[in-house]
Structure 1
Amino acid sequence: MKQEFLVPDMTCGHCVKMITDTIHEFSPNAVVNADPKTHWLTVEANDTDPQTIIMKLQVAGYSPQQV
């Protein structure tokens, strides 16, 4: 399932790595595409839901919004 988010505080490559690592901790097979220039995050995963992604990223210090 493809899920899309806007993450306004994702601004650099370090943010992309942190977000990707956070998602892979609970969904190891997820395909994560993150663009710090547009703040756009796409996650393709069949084993998680958008609320889990939002919650885990908030714990990591980010402010994702599902779109």
Structure 2
Amino acid sequence: MPVTVFLLSGIFPLVPGAGIYYCAYYFIQGNNALALSNGISTFKVAVALAIGITLVLCVPLPKRK
């Protein structure tokens, strides 16, 4: 199986969907301070996930003989 099949199935549960939802919810409700707070924390989680995935994918695999 290709690596992408396992990578995508492992990443989908990590996506910070609740943070995005609450950011939009508080923004629509007019509570900009909470929307900004949730937006920043969600962005931090998304960046941390992206950096982690990038670091793992950059590790060279040993050559098979």
Interval of TM-score (by shorter of Structure 1 and Structure 2): 0.3 to 0.5
- Relative to its length, the structure with more strand (as a share) is 1
- Relative to its length, the structure with more helix (as a share) is 2
